[in-house]
Amino acid sequence: MASQSPDSGQKYVDSAWRIDAESRRCTLGARLDIEEARAGADGRAPDWVKCAKNRLKNVDDVLKARPSRSQRWNGTDVERAWVNLHEAYTILVDLADPQDLRGELPSVHALAKRVLKPDDPELVHLAEVINKPVLDAADRNTVVNTMRSAYRANAEQHRRVRSFRNILLVTAAVLMVFALLFGTVGFLTPETLNLCFGQNCPTGRSVPTRPDVFIVELLGVFGTMIVGALAIRRMRGTSTPYAVPLASLLVKLPTGALTAVGGIVLLKAGFATGVGDLEPAQIVAYAVLFGASQQALTQLLDRQAQTVLNSVGSVGQDGAKPKDPNGQTDGA
């Protein structure tokens, strides 16, 4: 990770999306320089070129600055960078001669197909434009309007991903607080949360001790990590800036700790027939088992996380979806 002050002209690099954005910003900057030279020569839309240049300056401001905690949470730096990149590219397309749009149509159409509904009027009209032998100014307007609609839809998808990621992180934090509260209560008053079976306690003592609850929770986390390691093989990565799979895994850890304590409490209360006084080793084994059992509760969360990621064009069962060469990647 490298960090420079905004005035140094260097970019702050802490994630892949910034590298991607910088690459696209350089490409658009070069194309705008060419367009600016043409505008100066024949008077073609200098104000629009200036507007696009300002958009790229906004991108530079984002890439030079270290994001604050609030920006990491609400994603304003990510969204500001990509919105400005998209609009700069859209302006370039809007300034192009209609007959020069042939090279842009495939990527625009691929993006629109990913994020717009199949019966969307703009997508249907764009498909008609692609098949026309000769393009005119009206066709260029269709392309530009479809691009803006597709980019707005893409941004909305990413807002949903970010919101879901935030929900997962808040859930993990709340569950962690509850796990710490249970452990603290057990530490301060061991008799209040007694996890012993007769004279057999998790620590091997004959009476409740302060570490009992924390030890059971730790064993539950251990069981969670074993199952989580196996579950990782079924997870797919994401090119979004929001680590949804990681947030999903974080929810599992305190859940495993709580299910371990809850399971031992239920056994002690006699909810399972045939379970008498357990030996310390058996208590440990049950704690690990109950911790691993959290997967039954959180597997629906895993599925929802993957569904949310797939909605923004992440890698699916059919492989990677197309990438817009002048906008965001499948999830950036």
pLDDT by residue (tens digit) across 192-216? 889 999 889 999 898 999 999 999 9
pLDDT at 13 over 80: no
pLDDT at 314 over 50: no
Closest among 323, 329, 253, 266 to 294, alpha carbons compared? 253
pLDDT at 8 over 50: no
Quote the CA–CA distance of 235 and 59 in Å, as a whole number.
Answer: 32
pLDDT by residue (tens digit) across 57-82? 999 999 988 888 888 888 888 899 99
Sequence-distant (≥ 6) Cβ neighbours of residue 221 within 8 angstroms: 253, 256, 257, 260, 291
Confidence of residue 237 (pLDDT cuts 50, 70, 90): low
CA-CA-CA-CA dihedral for 194, 198, 202, 205, to nearest 10: 100
Residues 115 and 150: beta-carbon distance below 8 Å = yes
Find the mean pLDDT for residues 179-195: 93
Quote the CA–CA distance of 332 and 330 in Å, as a whole number.
Answer: 6
pLDDT at 145 over 90: yes
What angle do the packed helices 46-64 and 76-95 form, to 10 degrees? Answer: 160
pLDDT at 274 over 60: yes
Q: What percent of the chain lies above the pLDDT cut of 70?
A: 85
Residue 321: its pLDDT value, please?
Answer: 41
Confidence of residue 288 (pLDDT cuts 50, 70, 90): very high
Lowest mean pLDDT among 5-9, 119-123, 148-152, 311-315: 5-9
Token output for 332: 């950036």
Amino acid found at 120 = D
Burial profile 177-197: b = 16 or more Cβ within 10 angstroms, e = fewer:
eebeebbeebeeebeebbbbb
Residue 3: its pLDDT value, please?
Answer: 39
pLDDT at 43 over 70: no
pLDDT by residue (tens digit) across 156-172? 888 888 889 999 999 99
pLDDT at 327 over 50: no
| pTM for this model (two decimals) | 0.76
pLDDT at 9 over 70: no
Residue 249: its pLDDT value, please?
Answer: 87
pLDDT at 285 over 90: yes
Find the mean pLDDT for residues 284-303: 89
Confidence of residue 317 (pLDDT cuts 50, 70, 90): very low
pLDDT by residue (tens digit) across 94-120? 988 888 888 889 989 998 988 888 889
Quote the CA–CA distance of 232 and 59 in Å, as a whole number.
Answer: 35
Residue 255: its pLDDT value, please?
Answer: 95
Give the max Cα distance, the chain: 93
Instruction: Kindly tell me the burial class for residue 146, based on how many C-beta atoms sit within 10 Å of its own C-beta (0-12, 13-18, 19 or more).
Output: buried
Give the distance, in angstroms, between the CA of residue 51 and the centroid of all CA atoms in the same chain.
Answer: 31
Confidence of residue 150 (pLDDT cuts 50, 70, 90): very high
Residues 225 and 318: beta-carbon distance below 8 Å = no
Residue 234: its pLDDT value, please?
Answer: 66
For residue 278, what is the DSSP state? P
User: Residue written as tokens 């990438």?
Assistant: 323
Arithmetic mean of pLDDT over the chain: 83
Confidence of residue 235 (pLDDT cuts 50, 70, 90): low
